[in-house]
Amino acid sequence: MKTKSFVTGLIFCVSLFTVQITLAGADAAKTMAGILMNLNHYPTDAEKETLKKLVSDSATSEADKTVATAMINLEHSATADDKKKLSKVMSDDSVTGPTRVLAEIVHNLSHKPSAADKEKLKEIMK
């Protein structure tokens, strides 16, 4: 009986941890999508601080950290180094769809997101 209770408790704890990681990833994507929706050449200082918090958060995936870092470094478009890193995120099948879309948008960005990009961002923000 004790073993059954222990296993049930362990499964519950693992489930909570998994949900927390999933929610953290979804929140990171939504946060970045919101920043990109209103982007004009580069993020504001306040938006950069928000992105820096995502990068320093242990719950943020490495792919999301790559996108957030590229956004911090934006000056009308992504840097050449960030574009290389974003390309890896875009081609990694293990990365979630929203993060891959964000990587593509930032990779191809020229001053601000296109109308088509904004439609994709709206979907991510839902």
Distances (CA, A) of 110 to 25, 28, 42, 105: 26, 22, 10, 9
Please give the backbone phi and psi of residue 42, each rounded to the nearest 5 degrees, phi first: -165, 160
Domain ranges of the chain: 23-125
| Tens-binned pLDDT, residue by residue, of the chain (126 aa) | 555 554 444 444 433 333 343 334 569 999 999 999 999 999 999 999 999 999 999 999 999 999 999 999 999 999 999 999 999 999 999 999 999 999 999 999 999 999 999 999 999 999
Model-level pTM?
0.80
